Amino acid sequence: MVVVFGDGAANEGIFHESLNMAALWKLPVLFVCENNLYGMSMHVDRATSKLPIAQRAEGYGIPWHYIDGNDLLLVYETMRQAVDKVRNGAGPVFVEAETYRYFGHSKSDRNLYRTKEEIDEWRNLDPILRVRRSLIETGIMTEEQAEEIDQEAIKVIEAAVDFAENSPEPDVSTVEEFVYA
């Protein structure tokens, strides 16, 4: 089982209860904390007394990793190792991936708590751009090929939006289908 949550959720009591039970029962759970640095409109270092969040797992005897969540290859390798551990019966593993959210938390969030410079710095660390640059720098792909892929992705997104906007509303009788809570 994979449990994905944000940095803000790590300050809730159920977070600790879940880690405790998973550790006690050696449950096959991969805890993934997507730390985008802001829980609602507050920076994580103003809401969390000790960082990284992942080190909290140590208190429950759970192995943990704190990684650059914008480094595709590091995320892949860390997750591969963590999944192997969990699948092999070693109990839970905790991975905190530091990343960034460029926009406010919701439509009503005017994003006034951070600077344009901060957002721009993080945009430069975007995982897609980092992989693109790496592929071009290593000669695996040309700038033209990368641009072709970008244009194709835009077409796919536009087609998906068009499909969604032009699809009929779902039948209200299906509202509870695939709900397992």
d(CA 179, CA 181): 6
d(CA 98, CA 116): 19
- Domains of the chain, residue spans: 2-108, 126-167
State the average pLDDT over residues 89-118: 92
Neighbours of 57 (CB within 10 A): 22
Model pLDDT for residues 75-89, shown as the tens digit of each residue: 999 999 999 999 999
Tell me, which fold does domain 2-108 have in CATH?
A: Rossmann fold (3.40.50)
**Burial of residue 34, with CB atoms counted within 10 A of its CB: 0-12 exposed, 13-18 middle, 19 or more buried:** middle
First and final C-alpha spacing in the chain: 15
Model pLDDT for residues 40-53, shown as the tens digit of each residue: 788 999 999 899 99
d(CA 47, CA 53): 11
Mean residue pLDDT of the chain comes to 95
